Amino acid sequence: MELIINGQTQVLEPADTMEDVIKQLGLLGKPLVAEANGVVLTAEQWATTSVVPGMRIELVHFVGGG
């Protein structure tokens, strides 16, 4: 399944929800905000947000260093 993640086209295994996508990328449990087509999704919305091919997703990692 093709998705545009952080501006880059990426091919992933088929995924139904945002949570599947984040799991596939190995990012579950990280301090992360996902945005799908410009809408901010918090962690508890990932499991109920469907993804469709070609969707624009931004994954914003919160950065801890300083």
Partner 1 sequence: MEEMQMDSEQMKQRYSRQMLFSPIGEAGQRKLMNSAVLIVGMGALGTVLANHLVRAGVGHIRMVDRDYVEKSNLQRQLLYDEQDVVHMYPKVIAAEKKLRIVNSTVKLEPVVADVTLANIAELLEGMDLVLDGTDNFQTRFLLNDACYKAGIPFTYGGAVSSRGMSALFVPGRTPCLRCFIQAGDSGGETCDTIGVIAPVVDIVASYQAVEAMKLLVGAEDQRRSSLVTFDIWHNRFYELKFGEPHPGCPCCQLKQYPALEWRERDAAVSLCGRETVQIRGNAPLELAVWKERLSPIAREVTLNPFLLRVELSEGERLVMFPDGRVLVQGTEDIVRAKTLYARYIGQ
Closer by beta carbon to partner 1, 2 or else 30? 30
Closer by beta carbon to partner 1, 14 or else 38? 38
**Mind giving me the DSSP string for 5-52?**
ETTEEEE-S--SBHHHHHHHTT-TTSSEEEEETTEEE-GGGGGG-B--
Closer by beta carbon to partner 1, 14 or else 29? 29
Q: Which residues bind partner 1 (CB under 8 A)?
A: 6-7, 29-33, 35, 38-40, 42-44, 58, 60-66
